[in-house]
C-alpha cells in the first residue's frame, strides 16, 4: 500500500460559503487583487459575494478582469504590476480554469518583481508566491484544488504549465451554485476536461492509492453528468450541477498529484491552431487513450469502466459525440511541424500507459487529420 499524501489546501464548500466564512480572509492581509475573466465572475454572483466578504473584513481590493481563455503570460505580468503598485498582500482568483491558473501566476510575479516574463518557467531561486484564494465558476479544470497553472506564450500561442508547490491555494471556496450560469456547450466542454484530468491522472504510472480513490470518485460523478448531457442535450438541474462540480474537484486533486497523459499536450495543438475549446481538444484523443490504457493497464481500465457502469465502446461513442470536432485537415508538413515540440519528450508522454513517443503522436495525427 502507498498511503503517502499531502494536500495543503483549506477547502470550504457549500452554498453561500463565501459570505458565511468571510472571516477566513482576514489572516491573508489588508489588500488584495481580484483576478477574473470578462463575465463569469459577475454572471455567477461570485464577484458580488467576494466584494461583500472583503468589505465585511475591512479588506481593500482592486480588480483585474483582463484574463481571457488560455491565459497569457503578459496579462498575468501586467496584473502583477498592478498588484504590486496597490500593495496587495494576497490574490483572489474567480472564474473558470483560465482566471484561476492566471491567479497563480500573478501571485508568483507579484512576489518577485525581478522575474522576467519567461522566468516563471525556470527553476531559478525566487520568493514564495503571495497567498492565493480561489473560487471556481465552472465544473471543469479543478484548478481550485491543485497547483497546476497552464499559461500561453503571447508570442507563439503555445501553452506550457507550471506546478510549483507554492501555487497550491491556501484557501478555496467551493460553491457549486456559481456553475449554474454556464451555458450548455461550456458545461459539456468543462465536464469533458474534468473527465480527462481524472482518467489521465488515474492511468498515470505516478498514480498511487490515495489519488486513485479521488480519481474513481471523480469519474463516477462526472460520467453521470456526461451521460445526462449526451441524452438530454440541455443543461442539468441543481443536483447534477453539484455532482459535476464536486467531480471536477476530485479530478483536480488526482491531477495535482499525478499530472496528465498524452491527450493534454496533443490537445494543446488543436486549441492553439484550430480554436478547439480545451476540454474537447483533450477528449478528441480519448479513443486512443482508452485503447492504450486497456492494452497496458487492463485491470485499471476495467475498474474505471465498472465505476462508470459502461463498456469501452459505449464510452468511446458518447465521448466522440459530445466532443463533436469540426472537420480538421492537416498536411504532412503541418503534422511534423506541430510535433516538433515533442523532440524534448514531455512528462505527459513518459507517464502515459505504456509510455508514449513523438512517433506515436505523429501516427495519431496522421490517422485522424491527414
Choose between 1 and 75: higher pLDDT: 75
pLDDT, position 309: 97
Task: Dig out the grid coordinates for 124 from the structure.
Answer: 531559478
Predicted local distance difference test score (pLDDT) of residue 2: 73
pLDDT grade, residue 7 (50/70/90)?
Answer: confident
Residue 130 contacts residue 152 (beta carbons within 8 Å): no
- Please write the tens of the pLDDT for every residue from 80-129: 999 999 999 999 999 999 999 999 999 999 999 999 999 999 988 999 99
Q: Which residues contact 294 (CB under 8 A, 6 or more apart)?
A: 301, 302, 312
Using the predicted structure, report yes or no on whether residue 38 has a pLDDT greater than 90: no
DSSP 15: T
How many alpha carbons fall within 13 Å on the CB side of residue 187?
28
With beta carbons less than 8 A apart as the criterion, state whether 196 and 279 touch: yes
- Is 260 within 8 Å of 196 (Cβ atoms)? yes
What pLDDT is recorded for position 4?
77
Which of 342, 368, 340 lies closest to 356 in space, CA to CA?
Answer: 342
CATH 3.40.50.1970 applies to domain 10-178: yes
pLDDT digits (tens, 9 = 90+) for 330-346: 999 999 999 999 999 99
Asked whether the predicted pLDDT for residue 6 surpasses 90, the reply is: no
The residues spanned by each domain of the chain are 10-178, 182-369
Alpha-carbon span 140 to 146, nearest angstrom: 13
CA distance 229 to 231: 6
Q: What pLDDT is recorded for position 253? A: 93
HEC string of 216-240?
HHHHHHHHHHHHHHHHHCCCCCHHH
Q: Please, which pLDDT band fits residue 141 given cuts at 50, 70 and 90?
A: confident
Grid cell, residue 17, equals: 460559503
Mean pLDDT of the chain: 95
Model pLDDT for residues 302-321, shown as the tens digit of each residue: 999 999 999 999 999 999 99
Q: What is the pLDDT of residues 200-255, one digit of tens each?
A: 999 999 999 999 999 999 999 999 999 999 999 999 999 999 999 999 999 999 99
Which pTM was predicted?
Answer: 0.93
| N- to C-terminal Cα separation, the chain | 45
SS3 content of the chain, % helix, strand, coil (to 5): 60, 10, 30
Which of 48-52, 73-77, 119-123, 128-132 is predicted least confidently?
119-123
How far lies 87's CA from each of 3, 25, 125, in Å? 41, 16, 22
Cβ atoms < 10 Å from Cβ of 84 = 16
pLDDT for residue 39: 82
Q: How far is CA 179 from CA 22, 65, 138, 197, in A?
A: 20, 19, 5, 19
CATH of 182-369, one of 3.40.50.2020, 1.10.760.10, 1.20.1090.10, 1.10.3720.10: 1.20.1090.10
- pLDDT of res. 8: 84
CA distances (Å), 281 to each of 150, 192, 325, 352, in order?
Answer: 15, 9, 8, 17
Cβ neighbours, 10 Å, residue 13: 15
Residue 287, C-beta contacts closer than 8 angstroms, at least 6 positions apart: 316, 319, 320
Amino acid at each position: 500500500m502507498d498511503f503517502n499524501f499531502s494536500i495543503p489546501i483549506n477547502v470550504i464548500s457549500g452554498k453561500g460559503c463565501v459570505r458565511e466564512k468571510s472571516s477566513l480572509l482576514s489572516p491573508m492581509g489588508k489588500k488584495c487583487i481580484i483576478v477574473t475573466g470578462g463575465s463569469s465572475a459577475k454572471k455567477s454572483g461570485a464577484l458580488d459575494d467576494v466584494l461583500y466578504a472583503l468589505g465585511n473584513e475591512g479588506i481593500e481590493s482592486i480588480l483585474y478582469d483582463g484574463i481571457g481563455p488560455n491565459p497569457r503570460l503578459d496579462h498575468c505580468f501586467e496584473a502583477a504590476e498592478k498588484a504590486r503598485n496597490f500593495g496587495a498582500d494576497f490574490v483572489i482568483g474567480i472564474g473558470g480554469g483560465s482566471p484561476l491558473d492566471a491567479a497563480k501566476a500573478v501571485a508568483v510575479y507579484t512576489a518577485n518583481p525581478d522575474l522576467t516574463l519567461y522566468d516563471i518557467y525556470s527553476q531559478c531561486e525566487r520568493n514564495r508566491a503571495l497567498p492565493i484564494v480561489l473560487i471556481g465558476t465552472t465544473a471543469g479544470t479543478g484548478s481550485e484544488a491543485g497547483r497546476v497553472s497552464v499559461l500561453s506564450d503571447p508570442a507563439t500561442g503555445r501553452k506550457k504549465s507550471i506546478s510549483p508547490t507554492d501555487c497550491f491555494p491556501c484557501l478555496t471556496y467551493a460553491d457549486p451554485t456559481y456553475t449554474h450560469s454556464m451555458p450548455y456547450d461550456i458545461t459539456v466542454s468543462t465536464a469533458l476536461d474534468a473527465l480527462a484530468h481524472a482518467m489521465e491522472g488515474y492511468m498515470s504510472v505516478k498514480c498511487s492509492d490515495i489519488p486513485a480513490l479521488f480519481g474513481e470518485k471523480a469519474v463516477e460523478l462526472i460520467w453521470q453528468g456526461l451521460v445526462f448531457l449526451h441524452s438530454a442535450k440541455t443543461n442539468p438541474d441543481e443536483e447534477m450541477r453539484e455532482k459535476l462540480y464536486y467531480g471536477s474537484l476530485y479530478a483536480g486533486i488526482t491531477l495535482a498529484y499525478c499530472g496528465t497523459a498524452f491527450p493534454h499536450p496533443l490537445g494543446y495543438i488543436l486549441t492553439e491552431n484550430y480554436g478547439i475549446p480545451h476540454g474537447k481538444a483533450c477528449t478528441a484523443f480519448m479513443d486512443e487513450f482508452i485503447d492504450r490504457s486497456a492494452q497496458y493497464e487492463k485491470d485499471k481500465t476495467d475498474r474505471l469502466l465498472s465505476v462508470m457502469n459502461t463498456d469501452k465502446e459505449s464510452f468511446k461513442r458518447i465521448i466522440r459525440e459530445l466532443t463533436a470536432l469540426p472537420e480538421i485537415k492537416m498536411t504532412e508538413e503541418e503534422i511534423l511541424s506541430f510535433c516538433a515540440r515533442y523532440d524534448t519528450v514531455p512528462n505527459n508522454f513518459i507517464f502515459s500507459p505504456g509510455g508514449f513517443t513523438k512517433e506515436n503522436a505523429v501516427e495519431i495525427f496522421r490517422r485522424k487529420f491527414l
